[in-house]
Amino acid sequence: MLFTQNKPTEEVLESLGEEKNIFLLACNGCAEVCETGGEKALLAMKAELEKAGKDLTGQLNVDFLCNKVLVATRLAQERDKIEEADSILVLTCGVGVQVVSKVVNKVVHPAANTVSLGGLQGLWPADERCQACGDCALDYTGGICPITFCAKSLLNGPCGGAQDGKCEVDSEKDCGWQLIYERLEKIGRLENLKKFHKARDHSKMLPSKDLRETSFYDIEK
């Protein structure tokens, strides 16, 4: 079970920026339980987007956005609607957003912050992809997580230590920022690298009181 909380609507709209045509994608797994995904959250987001003057090229609920094969197969059926869109707004956890980014060559925006990996983890495992930092940055990094893919969890770009695209810590491991750079270049978003990221707010990693009090979070007590 992965715990997520909706990003403030203003933050989501800011990240969509000038993009007009949006494909809305929600998860029916853990995210539905947290009310960040599922039908209800999808319809609520749809209303917000329409209010903000956005056009939806399509909308879809998928049972487990953390299942890469399932997502790739399901999204293939929506190819035209996704092609039409400027970007995909993904209503799920950090693992799900990274799956979508991996299987579709489109800009992805997370609508939620992942705050805890709880007990059962996402199917496209898991804490090596998402550390539940509570302040999802996948939006700016082309759907590749700088917290988990960079050995130093750097937010403002690569250190000077990568060699031949490999990390200074392990020559078998790709430099996360090299992957991010290549991805952003591919989706035409290199200007994202110019954004200054403030220092992380580590208190966001703690699940909020209301989340802690859900029976789901307490289920293993």
| Residues binding other proteins (CB under 8 A) | 151-164, 168-170, 177-178, 181, 190, 193-194, 196-200, 202
Compare residues 171 and 215 and give the one whose CB is closer to other proteins.
Answer: 171
Compare residues 10 and 164 and give the one whose CB is closer to other proteins.
Answer: 164
Compare residues 36 and 178 and give the one whose CB is closer to other proteins.
Answer: 178
Shortest gap between Cβ of 173 and other proteins (angstroms)?
Answer: 11
CA proximity to 155, closest of 141, 171, 142 = 141
**Burial per residue of 33-54, b for 16 or more beta-carbon CB atoms within 10 angstroms, e otherwise:** bbebbbeebbeebbeebeeeeb
Compare residues 86 and 174 and give the one whose CB is closer to other proteins.
Answer: 174
Shortest gap between Cβ of 153 and other proteins (angstroms)?
Answer: 6
CA proximity to 12, closest of 102, 89, 114, 124 = 89
Torsion, Cα 45 49 50 51, to 10 degrees, reads 100
Shortest gap between Cβ of 167 and other proteins (angstroms)?
Answer: 8
- What values do phi and psi take at 121, rounded to 5? -100, 170
Shortest gap between Cβ of 104 and other proteins (angstroms)?
Answer: 24
